[in-house]
Chains A and B, each alone.
Chain A
Amino acid sequence: MFLSLVFKEIKQQFKSIIFYLFIGIIVLFYITQFLGDVDTEGVSKPIPPDEYREAYGREPYYGYIEEEDPEDQMNLMYSRLIRDANHGSVLQHGFLMSKIVNLSKGQKEFMLDAADKIIKEGHDISNFEADVSYKEFQIIIEKVDERLGGGTYFSEEYNDQVYRQEKTYDQALKDFETMISKDTLSNAYGRLYADYMGIGAGFFPIFLAAFILTRDKRYRMSELIYSREISSYKYVFAKYIALVISVSLVYLAIVTHATILVSSVVKANGYTVDYLAFYKYTFGWLVPTLLFTISMGFVISIIFGNGIVAIPIQFGLWISSLLPLVGDYGLSKFVLRFNTVGSYDIFKESINDILINRILYTVLAIILVGVAGRILSYRRGRQDGIIKKRFKRKSKEDSRTPSLQS
């Protein structure tokens, strides 16, 4: 019986205009974002430097690699400090955007002082040797960020932009081999796919989810429904599961297309294909985002009694989850980013964090739906709204004209 209800709700979804608009948008997103990135001509194995220079007429670029070594990090950061201080401005990341901030005299001096702490005056810069321990160094740099107002490259959040080196040809080749052998191209592209599609999944479903529970009120069917036997939890969960399934079907169709496409490219280049890769990432990586977004729509709309409120709230959450582009898998991120092909090492490191994050959000989503059910159960027995309004009107009438008529 529960299944019948779910099935009916799914049917209802497939009959609604906004659902098809939603499909259109997700597909558009897919085409412009992911398909644009898939190199359909051939998977690019790094070219040796000489060949590169000959073919493109410029120095080869193999991407960046994270700098892990503490000494090297200090070196990089030191150079950065000096450079920015002399230049007189820093880049500051804000809520939605970043801007270039001009440094005051005091700030410049602070930075140069900090640099001095790292290497005492008189030292030979070409042979970098720090005068402080790594821990002390981190504290110094943090203080610089604070002094500058936060959000600069000197902060924890953004210092990865400083701690990186250009890959050498050998490193690039090594990464490529790893990708082919341990990771497989399918998986590498699978993660990229989950990254792009996950972005959409963190926001657009809210337009479907936020208006489902308020539909009863809009069509004035709430009295009929609320006076019935069905438990509020069953009612809400049926709608939830139905929407999740409906949306998942859309993603399933798209991921099948992606799998076929990428697999044929991979095969054409003679590498092994993992047909399940994309599905793995869709369900493990993407679906928890979906679950969370939809549950937010339910819970916010039932708390506020209307669906529109959910949109800006989710928008705010969404924006804050979109950056940085790779690497942050903390619990505050409901959209997980991995905007690169490969980088297997980063992935392998973070896999535990990723797993915990996804499980957490799945559980959180279910709890939120439960909360929505509880609130509905409470509201169901307190449908005073309309009557209260009548009373306000009536009392106004009474005070105006005493009449013989009732």
Chain B
Amino acid sequence: MLVAVTPFLFSLVRLEYSNIATVGELYLSVIGIILLPNIINIEDIDNIKEVIYIRKTPHIITTILRLAIIIIFMFILISSIILLAKLQQGNFPFWEISLGSFISSLYFGIIGITVVNITKSLPSGYLIPFAYYAFEFSTRGKYTKDFFVFSLLNESFIEKGNLLLIIGGLLIVNLVIIYKRS
């Protein structure tokens, strides 16, 4: 729903790199924070987990599936908006912006997931990514340098690679935790 509102919030016409970077990095990345942390927690409600864990399909498989679906969904959402801007005479490299924003979004989301997994507190899983977001926003990469999340604002894509490494690492850590737990 939030995504649908985007075209109305910002005029997506004739955008230059710096503008679309802002939309992607600052706004669309929030999608990751909202969508991802939730899915880990589902089984803890009403103790469904005791029923789920003993079923034939290993829980880890369903988690991976669920994650995959949401992540694909996120990518589609984000790139659609970027596509919309591109189609309206946007002047920027489509894939760079799309992937870049997607990676930022995924990054925040995976952090949220990790927090929920460790603390078992869903609110914390929202708080930390948002705080990270605010931190990066206000310090503009001063402390995170090569891992600056909003690197597209500086027209730089290299950092995204580093972020991907962290995302990958965290994914593995989380899946291991979930696997051990079930």
Contact = CB atoms under 8 A, between A and B. Distances in A.
Interface of A: 16-18, 21-22, 25, 28-29, 32-33, 94-97, 99-102, 200, 203-204, 207-208, 210-211, 218, 307-308, 311-312, 315
A99 B19 CA distance: 6
Contacts of B139: 32
A320 B119 CA distance: 32
Contact of B121 (A18, A33, A102): A18
17 contacts: A16-B121, A18-B121, A18-B123, A21-B119, A22-B127, A25-B131, A29-B135, A94-B9, A96-B22, A97-B10, A99-B19, A100-B16, A101-B14, A102-B14, A207-B130, A218-B45, A311-B34
Interface in B4-54: 9-11, 14-16, 18-19, 22-23, 26-27, 30, 34, 38, 45
Contacts of B18: 99
A41 B22 CA distance: 36
Given A97-B19, A97-B23, A207 B10 contact: no
A100 B27 CA distance: 18
Contacts of B131: 21, 25, 28, 204
Nearest to B45: A218
B16 A207 contact: no
Contact of B127 (A28, A33, A207): A207
A96 B26 contact: yes
Given A97-B22, A99-B15, A102-B14, A28 B124 contact: no
B148 interface: no
Contacts of B19: 97, 99
Contacts of B123: 18, 207-208, 210-211, 307
B124 A94 contact: no
Nearest to B123: A211
Contacts of B122: 211
B126 A96 contact: no
Contact of A25 (B15, B23, B30, B127): B127
